[in-house]
Amino acid sequence: MKYLKLFDLASDYQTFIDGEEFITPNVSYAMDSNIVYYNPGIIQKPKNNEIWYTTTDKTIITPSSSYGMAPNIVSNEYNNEMGVMTFDDTLNNIWNQAFNFKTNLKTIILPDSVTIIDNAPFIGCSNLESVILSSNLTTINAQAFSNCTSLENIVIPNSVTILEQRCFYGCSNLKNVELSSNLTTINAQAFSNCTSLENIVIPNNVTILGEGCFSDCSNLKNVELSENINIISSGLFANCALLNDIIIPENITSIETTAFVNCSNLSKITCLSTNAPTLGSGCFFNVKSNGILYCPLNSDYSNWMIKEAADRLGYYNWTVEEV
């Protein structure tokens, strides 16, 4: 059985996406020397009135704001390498600005009773490395984890349907994102300026990608779009300089203003629609020269190939191949 290393009692609390082999009976936790392992299939989670956390200095954290906090904290202790914040009733939401700019916060584990993360509760938690979300979470609100610059991995549970604007904006070390299969909406700039993100798969239940969702993701190389979006919104991939190719699903009817502006390495576009999507101004400004547009047989993409307009592919000497 494969267990994930949860924390090392000899050093510090750490979580990992990739585990190592450790054979033990089917229990939540197992010990091997100073290493504690857990089975991710039956991971122990906080009680519904608790939040578990660790800090860089192994001291308790207190809320930055109590506005909207309900229920109330009855105890907050840091023992055995972990903090436990206990409330007087079930915790259903993480309130606005709850722990914002707590720069010593390192790990947070939320109880499965939480269904909503409100606005900006973890914004500016620059040493936050690991987050385990509630399996019943539905919404991550605006700026929830903005500028959490040490966060490298995030798994969005399949219960989540909405990611609000800038919820992971500026998470400059975020490398791995696993999105909810039931996600329908990713709002404006949700992952903008995530400069370490290289790959993203947008699940097919997503119908809305807000403006600039992945703008300024300077290392983004591979994108798989949902088949059920109709619009590539303004600035969606603006300044994604390493994006080399993109497949545009057949349901796309419009590519809006500056959608691919300054994608200076973009040299291959495969568009699956027989009706060429309309183009907003600046949508292909400063793409790579001499690229190839693949489109269906007998389709008309002549508007994309105008040579006199600096935001059209023809200006950059692209060619068209019908497939």
| DSSP-derived secondary structure letter, 18 | S
The dihedral formed by the CA atoms of 186, 187, 191 and 193, expressed in degrees to the nearest 10: 160
Sign of CA dihedral 226, 232, 237, 242: positive
Count the neighbouring beta carbons within 10 Å of the beta carbon of residue 41. 10
Fold held by 45-180: 3.80.10
Give residue 30's pLDDT: 37
Q: Which strand (E) or helix (H) includes residue 201?
A: strand 199-201
Dihedral, CA of residue 233, residue 235, residue 236 and residue 237, to nearest 10? 150
What are the structural domain ranges in the chain? 1-44, 45-180
The residue count for the chain: 323
The list of the chain residues with pLDDT below 70 reads 1-43
Q: Are 222 and 247 in contact (CB under 8 A)?
A: no
| C-alpha span between 52 and 82 (Å, rounded) | 7
DSSP 309: -
pLDDT value for 43: 52
Beta-carbon contacts of 283 under 8 Å, excluding residues fewer than 6 positions away, are 255, 256, 257, 258, 259, 260, 261, 311
28-62: pLDDT as tens digits: 333 333 333 444 444 578 999 999 999 999 999 99
- Predicted local distance difference test score (pLDDT) of residue 4: 39
Distances 39 to 8, 25, 28, 44, 88 between C-alpha atoms, Å: 15, 10, 5, 9, 29
- Straight-line distance from the first to the last Cα atom of the chain, in angstroms, rounded to the nearest whole number: 47
Helix (H, G, I), strand (E, B) or coil at 162: strand
pLDDT digits (tens, 9 = 90+) for 86-95: 999 999 999 9
